[in-house]
Structure 1
Amino acid sequence: MKKRILSIAASVLALSTLLAACSTKESPPQAGATTPNTPATEAPKGTDAPSTDKVKLSIWHNYSGDDARAKVIRGQIEKFQKEHPEVELDAQAIPPDGYRQRLKTVAAANEMPDVFFAHAGTTIKEFYEGGFIQPINPVLDKYPDWKNNFTDGAFGPLTFDNGIYAAPVNASVTSILYYNKTLFEQNNVKVPTTWDEMMTAVKTFKDKGITPIALGNKAAWLAQSSILSSLADRVTGTEWFLKAAKQDGAKFTDPEFVQALTYFKSLSEAGAFQNGFNSIDNTQMEQYFVQGKAAMMIDGAWGITNMASSATKEQLDQVEVTVLPSIPGGKGDPNTLSGGAGGGFTLNKKLTGKQLEAAQELIYTISGPEGMKLVAEANQIVNYKVEVDKSKVSSLFIKAYDLTQKVKFTPVYDAVLTSAGADAINVGLQDLLMKGKPEDVAKKLQEAQAKALGK
């Protein structure tokens, strides 16, 4: 049977947003995770190495899992090693939940890896402002066909003062509402398009002993990135959030944000999530959902490649995708997903000479045309125009891609907030899902963001 070809260009938004986390969202971090035989405080090798016959180079990334996308990234790094015997490469695959904390640790000692994955938005901006990284413009200019094939806006959140500091290896789509159509049909439940319909669906599934919404918030980032980023935008609108993030004309203690947190808490109070949601991670959540144990899941596009790596075709075929429901009287556009351009590999500012040349070629091997095609065929939406063999991707990938073509994108909170602000809302949402109060969470976020910005 002839292979059908799908031309894929990921939807992007010219906003200063991130990913992630997607996911890997690219998942944001949980402090404490380390790689085998590498203490958290150990400096990466390579940058200041003494001169030898071989060029020494270190690379850190968070593609440590067994999903197809992670294997593709690691495979491209291995390909570079084979094709460049003159380079002695120290490659570290660090678990996503601890990745950002590891980078912060070595940044504090000014001992960054030579090449490393940086999340778009606030994370890479802070490395830029700290003077840790240098532009990748020379390698982009060396391969103009590659540079010009990225989708519009792909470099937006990775660009500072006209310098491009990374090439995105995937798009960041963080708030897809996945639902099990079989469970909805069997229980005669309408797929929710309004908040009242969502609460009705939650009650119906809860009464029937079925988990309404799977949640895995162990690392604290998922509730913020996948649920609140989209839900809050429906309540407050994007303009309000960007003003509050800048602390210019809006505050997180404003009534509209407290209302958004109240909507979020109402899900927990209605019993929408399974027991122990703060003790499992997003991968465990995705497995719980795709196995038919929950009717819905709010997750990023990274969940597609994670589920495709372990689920059966029958399990994937019964999964449908849509956007979160609208909010009554909300100021935001309900036909939206939170997301935008994803993160990519950047360069240590200390690199020069042969080290720099090798590092630039390493980035091209990972993020170049071949790498982008392989990542897309690993069921991952990319910010790159590439033809993908439809027979190599799952039905769920096609559904999600089609959805991204029909919606607009709004900011992901942790891609716009300061690191302190993102930490405050992540921890706050974990508390809110238990016994916390919306007003208290809003106050802590406001204080953290204002202090970080010196306001």
Structure 2
Amino acid sequence: MNKKTTVILSVVLAASLALTACGSSDDKSDKTTTEGGKEKVKLTLWHNYSGDDQRAKTMRSLIEQFEKDHPDITLDVQAIPPDGYRTRLKTVAAANEMPDLFVMWPGVMTKEFQAGNLIQPINGLLDSKKEWKDGFLPGSFDGFTIGTDIYSAPIALSPTSILFYNKSLFEQNNLEVPKTWDDMMHAVEVFKSKKITPISLGNKAAWPAQSSILSSLADRVTGTEWFLNAATQGGAKFTDPAFIQSLQYLKDLGDAGAFQSGFNSLDNTQAEQYFAQGKAAMMIDGGWALTNIASTASTEAMAQMGATVLPSTPGGKGDPNTLAGVVGTGLGMSAKVTGAKKDAAYEVMYALAGPDAQKRVLESNQLVSYKVDLDKSKVTPIFAEVYELVNNVKRTPVYDGVLSSAAADEVNNGLQELLMGGSPESIAKKIQSAVEKK
């Protein structure tokens, strides 16, 4: 009897377990698939499109539209202000806790993340959409490429050293737009004497003086080859006289009072607004300023804006008809993303960097590294002017796109010190030391 009971209980228990298993499977299915049978996935997405400029609004609208069109993909989105974005991203990178998708920069950031096994290539996505891949301008993937692997597709083009100027203020003071460094220093002197801020600068985050001014100014003095050799310790050093002269030129601007009071406490957006309000005669800034200007400046103010390249320097070895710049940021993908999540991540990437997105970004007054015909009726006059400028000059490297993070930080901090009265020689030594530690 005991034996029979045991058998019966075993059969009942097995049947019970089978039913329970079926119930569990159904519950799991309900949680992981849509009504159409597609597997639901959740992706974390970090970006720095948090502002009120047209590009940021465009990118956010693309993300929102993607969510509506893809009920099977849930995006956990974090919008982080631009000035603090890199720091936040580097913090999670150090802890190996990367979001699934995130805005990242070409060049050194891509190299460092790849070396840390934090990201994975997107060759599969690009190869599956060859027409899209072939639509990018030559060199667009260079900063995102290591060996044969490509880690992102750029969503913008970022010249960093455009010299914006206020036509009215120059005309009212009988000045020509500076073409030489002597012209620049003369203009600074005249505007200062009229109590007009010569150059608007917001260097609170430390990178603007490096990215927008020094990268191009130093190239005028040293030439591109020297910088690349110094960055790789290939026979040139940041303690060389030519680079110290570059720092001296920037110090001369600071000593002459070229920038508004408290420039090291103002952010880049505040500096752009200051210029747009007609409070400064010039601004040395990147292409990203155009989308901010389009959102905040009046039509009358924009009509007074012109754009050109930075002036040449005496005896400089670099080509003065250039702009420092890089292809813009793109979405990177965490190395931990696999399976259905990876398929979903590819869909997000294409939605934010595909042909339709590139066209919308261009029309938000943001330059792109993609073959798109510009409809000038949909952008501001100053954007159209910069668009022509960018297509008629060569591009030179941006310091923080080539140097290691530690060396770039040393440059950034050193320039803040320089503009507050620091010694070019001392700062050059600190930069060289940081490069040698790489």
What is the aligned counterpart of 1:116 among 92, 99, 102?
102
Q: State the partner residue of 2:204.
A: 218
Does the CA contact (< 8 Å) of 2:106 and 2:144 recur in 1?
Answer: yes
Q: State the partner residue of 2:360.
A: 374
For residues 29-68 of structure 1, what are the structure 2 equivalents within 5 Å? Answer: 52-53=32-33, 54-68=40-54
- Deviation per CA, 1:6-36, whole angstroms, max 9, x where unpaired? xxxxxxxxxxxxxxxxxxxxxxxxxxxxxxx
Give 1:143 shift.
1.4
Scaled by the length of structure 1, what TM-score is found? 0.87
Does residue 87 of structure 1 match 2:73? Answer: yes
Q: Which has the higher contact order (CA 8 A, sep 6+)?
A: 1
SS of the aligned residue for 1:89 comes to strand
Does the CA contact (< 8 Å) of 2:251 and 2:421 recur in 1?
Answer: no
Give 1:340 shift.
2.7
What is the aligned counterpart of 1:255 among 226, 232, 241?
241
The aligned amino acid for 2:274 is Y
For residues 23-172 of structure 1, what are the structure 2 equivalents within 5 Å? Answer: 52-53=32-33, 54-172=40-158
SS of the aligned residue for 2:103 comes to strand
The 2-side partners of 1:289 and 1:326 are apart by: 23
Q: State the partner residue of 2:213.
A: 227
Does the CA contact (< 8 Å) of 2:101 and 2:332 recur in 1?
Answer: yes
- Deviation per CA, 1:38-89, whole angstroms, max 9, x where unpaired? xxxxxxxxxxxxx844211111111111111011111111111111111121
Does the CA contact (< 8 Å) of 2:255 and 2:421 recur in 1?
Answer: no
Q: State the partner residue of 1:274.
A: 260
The 2-side partners of 1:335 and 1:387 are apart by: 24
Please say which structure displays the higher CA radius of gyration.
Answer: 2
The 1-side partners of 2:95 and 2:212 are apart by: 32
SS of the aligned residue for 1:271 comes to coil
Moved over 6 A (4+): none
Say how many residue pairs are matched: 402
The 1-side partners of 2:181 and 2:95 are apart by: 48
The 2-side partners of 1:406 and 1:105 are apart by: 39
Q: State the partner residue of 2:309.
A: 323
Q: State the partner residue of 2:10.
A: none
For residues 352-371 of structure 1, what are the structure 2 equivalents within 5 Å? Answer: 352-371=338-357
Q: State the partner residue of 1:243.
A: 229
The 1-side partners of 2:88 and 2:167 are apart by: 40
SS of the aligned residue for 2:318 comes to coil
SS of the aligned residue for 1:252 comes to coil
SS of the aligned residue for 1:292 comes to coil
The aligned amino acid for 1:433 is L
The 2-side partners of 1:270 and 1:87 are apart by: 55
Give 1:388 shift.
3.0
- What 5-or-longer segments of structure 1 have no aligned partner? 1-50
The aligned amino acid for 1:153 is G
Deviates more, 1:355-364 or 1:81-90: 81-90
Q: State the partner residue of 1:178.
A: 164
The 2-side partners of 1:88 and 1:294 are apart by: 45
SS of the aligned residue for 2:282 comes to strand
The 2-side partners of 1:113 and 1:265 are apart by: 40
Q: State the partner residue of 1:399.
A: 385
The 1-side partners of 2:89 and 2:189 are apart by: 43
The 2-side partners of 1:359 and 1:231 are apart by: 40
SS of the aligned residue for 1:296 comes to strand
The 2-side partners of 1:74 and 1:143 are apart by: 24
- Deviation per CA, 1:101-133, whole angstroms, max 9, x where unpaired? 111111122111111111111111111111111
Give 1:294 shift.
0.5
Does the CA contact (< 8 Å) of 2:302 and 2:381 recur in 1?
Answer: yes
SS of the aligned residue for 1:133 comes to coil
For residues 281-360 of structure 1, what are the structure 2 equivalents within 5 Å? Answer: 281-360=267-346
Give 1:257 shift.
0.6
The aligned amino acid for 1:168 is P
SS of the aligned residue for 1:261 comes to helix
Q: State the partner residue of 2:7.
A: none
The 2-side partners of 1:104 and 1:303 are apart by: 25
Q: State the partner residue of 1:8.
A: none
The aligned amino acid for 2:304 is Q
Give 1:387 shift.
2.3
The 2-side partners of 1:255 and 1:451 are apart by: 21
Give 1:277 shift.
0.5
Give 1:309 shift.
0.4
The 2-side partners of 1:244 and 1:52 are apart by: 53
Q: State the partner residue of 2:400.
A: 414
Scaled by the length of structure 2, what TM-score is found? 0.91
- Deviation per CA, 1:412-432, whole angstroms, max 9, x where unpaired? 000000000000010000000
The aligned amino acid for 1:55 is V
SS of the aligned residue for 2:373 comes to strand
- Deviation per CA, 1:114-164, whole angstroms, max 9, x where unpaired? 111111111111111111111111111221111110001100111111111
The aligned amino acid for 1:203 is E
SS of the aligned residue for 1:168 comes to coil
The aligned amino acid for 2:285 is D
Does the CA contact (< 8 Å) of 2:326 and 2:401 recur in 1?
Answer: no
The 2-side partners of 1:79 and 1:160 are apart by: 32
The 2-side partners of 1:133 and 1:190 are apart by: 49
Give 1:389 shift.
2.4
RMSD over aligned CA atoms reads: 0.9
Deviates more, 1:352-361 or 1:74-83: 74-83
Give 1:236 shift.
0.6
